[in-house]
A and B are shown apart, each in its own frame.
Chain A
Amino acid sequence: MAYSFDFPAVFDYTPVLVDGVVLTAALTVVSTVAGVSIGIAGAAARTSGVKALDTAVGVYVEVIRNTPFLVQLFFIFFGLPTLGIRLPEWQAAVLAMVVNLGAYSTEIIRAGIQATPRGLIEAGESLAMTRAEIFRHIVIKPAMKKIWPALSSQIVIVMLGSSVCSQIAAEELTFAANFIQSRNFRPFEVYFVVTALYLGLAVLLRWLLARFGNLVFARRAARA
């Protein structure tokens, strides 16, 4: 019994797919900006030398890195209302992604900061700079440049991971796929096409992040 593929049955729903792609992209952009910001702050906290701060952020990082994203998402969406915090689907999705990326980027950026040559920091100290000034003007830029490839990979992983947000009915790309296959009963074709769309998004995102990295870090290096 040979199966005959029917891909046109998927493309009848092109507008639904486009909406899905747009929401996945939007989720990714927002969570990247917020997540990386948290990462910088978290890494600063972990290297600040203030023990309590270091421990608190350390616990956050380890809890997030050692539990599945899907469970974090369920906890935020289904669990938090118990505490009276009720978020709509897409806000819960964004929050979960931000919290998740924030933890990973804290760890990645911290590694970059700790690789700063001791001499650079001593040079800053001997110029009478404060810790904060040294962090802002000497440490963070080279550290970000060094870890940018690792951070970029993590951002791609978070984008791909956002696929499970369909489970709380956030209407992103996978949700679109589930919707379409419930209408046309062509699950294989639908998921095949959507997987290809994710692959395209991943390639595009990687390219954009590489461009961004080159632009931001190369120009600063040239000026310096």
Chain B
Amino acid sequence: MPEFTTWDILYNLILAARWTVVLSILAFICGGIAGLLVLLGRVSPLPWLRRTMNLYIELFQGTPLLMQIFIVFFAFPLMGVETTAWTAAVVALTLFTSAYLAEIWRGCVESVPKGQWEASESLAMSFTEQMRYVILPQALRVAVPPTVGFSVQVIKGTAVTSIIGFVELTKAGTMITNATFQPFLVYGLVGLLYFALCYPLSVYAKRLERTLHVAR
């Protein structure tokens, strides 16, 4: 092994951080779509569907992300499907994200006054029509800040996928540490890179929330 300079380390970490970003974006988009479906079930007029989706949310909010990743990772081969760290990471993070986003959005839907449901109901709208034209447009406004805020949790969540061997920022940090024996420097830089990814989103979420409060 040749000598690593700090720049070499940083450069290699940044290369690996691309995978953190890709995984985060993918999990966020897929999780958002799945989360919308879970949300619709969670607030639907069908009691059994509401209960099922509530159970789904409780399950993912009541167990460690690491366990969810392990279970996905080891469940695929049982169904006869080859699994890689990459697919397991995407699937597990998507499920995780969908449950949390659905729960965040449910709060937003419930913040829409009951009168809006009643008014649209008495105009003979069906549940999907109510959601699409009356409830979701209003819920969306309040949903943006916490949704942006949750994206930070998704990025941080990707770190856990290093444990099943997916090479993203944290895993790269471990590998580089093993090669350089400079854990303080390497993990410090890893933390710094995560901070660089997350902090702008946190600030943006906070600012969005503030403008929302002023507008009210």
B126 to chain A, nearest CB (A): 34
Is residue A174 contacting chain B, with contact meaning CB distance below 8 A? yes
Chain B residue with Cβ nearest A205: B62
Is residue A191 contacting chain B, with contact meaning CB distance below 8 A? yes
B197 to chain A, nearest CB (A): 8
Question: Are A74 and B174 closer than 8 Å at their CB atoms?
Answer: yes
Question: Are A71 and B199 closer than 8 Å at their CB atoms?
Answer: no
Is residue B90 contacting chain A, with contact meaning CB distance below 8 A? no
User: What CA separation (Å) do A167 and B65 show in the bound complex?
Assistant: 14
Question: Are A78 and B183 closer than 8 Å at their CB atoms?
Answer: yes
Within 8 A of B (CB), among A24-68: 62-63, 65-68
User: What CA separation (Å) do A187 and B73 show in the bound complex?
Assistant: 10
Residue numbers of A with Cβ under 8 A of B are: 1, 3, 62-63, 65-72, 74-75, 78-83, 156, 160-164, 166-167, 174, 177, 187-188, 191-192, 194-195, 198-199, 202-203
Question: Are B62 and A79 closer than 8 Å at their CB atoms?
Answer: no
A-B contact pairs, 5 of them (CB 8 A): A3-B78, A67-B194, A75-B183, A78-B183, A191-B67
Provide the main secondary structure of the chain B interface.
helix
B63 touches which of A70, A83, A202 (Cβ 8 Å): A202
Question: Are A167 and B163 closer than 8 Å at their CB atoms?
Answer: yes
User: What CA separation (Å) do A62 and B195 show in the bound complex?
Assistant: 9
Given contacts A80-B184, A161-B64, A191-B71, contact A62 B202 (CB under 8 A): yes
Within 8 A of A (CB), among B149-175: 152, 156-160, 162-163, 170, 173-174
Stretch at the interface among B2-10, B26-34, B36-44, B185-193: B185-193
Given contacts A78-B177, A163-B64, A188-B71, contact A70 B160 (CB under 8 A): yes
User: What CA separation (Å) do A188 and B185 show in the bound complex?
Assistant: 37
Chain B residue with Cβ nearest A195: B67
In the complex, chain B residues whose CB is within 8 Å of the CB of A202: 61-63
In the complex, chain A residues whose CB is within 8 Å of the CB of B152: 65-66
Question: Are A160 and B64 closer than 8 Å at their CB atoms?
Answer: yes
Given contacts A66-B198, A68-B170, A71-B159, contact A198 B67 (CB under 8 A): yes
B193 to chain A, nearest CB (A): 9
In the complex, chain A residues whose CB is within 8 Å of the CB of B182: 82
Question: Are A203 and B174 closer than 8 Å at their CB atoms?
Answer: no
Chain A residue with Cβ nearest B68: A195
In the complex, chain B residues whose CB is within 8 Å of the CB of A70: 159-160, 162-163, 170
Is residue B204 contacting chain A, with contact meaning CB distance below 8 A? no
User: What CA separation (Å) do A153 and B104 show in the bound complex?
Assistant: 13
Given contacts A188-B75, A195-B71, contact A68 B159 (CB under 8 A): yes
B164 to chain A, nearest CB (A): 11
Chain A residue with Cβ nearest B201: A66
Question: Are B74 and A191 closer than 8 Å at their CB atoms?
Answer: yes
The list of the 4 closest CB pairs from A to B, nearest first, reads A68-B159, A82-B184, A163-B64, A66-B198
Question: Are B194 and A68 closer than 8 Å at their CB atoms?
Answer: yes
Is residue B70 contacting chain A, with contact meaning CB distance below 8 A? yes
In the complex, chain A residues whose CB is within 8 Å of the CB of B160: 68, 70, 164
Chain A residue with Cβ nearest B198: A66
Question: Are B198 and A160 closer than 8 Å at their CB atoms?
Answer: no
User: What CA separation (Å) do A72 and B187 show in the bound complex?
Assistant: 8
Question: Are B66 and A66 closer than 8 Å at their CB atoms?
Answer: no
B137 to chain A, nearest CB (A): 28
Chain A residue with Cβ nearest B186: A79
Chain B residue with Cβ nearest A24: B64
Question: Are B66 and A164 closer than 8 Å at their CB atoms?
Answer: yes
User: What CA separation (Å) do A177 and B163 show in the bound complex?
Assistant: 14
Question: Are A174 and B198 closer than 8 Å at their CB atoms?
Answer: no
Within 8 A of A (CB), among B96-122: none
In the complex, chain B residues whose CB is within 8 Å of the CB of A167: 163
Chain A residue with Cβ nearest B163: A167
In the complex, chain A residues whose CB is within 8 Å of the CB of B70: 177, 187, 191
User: What CA separation (Å) do A22 and B112 show in the bound complex?
Assistant: 43
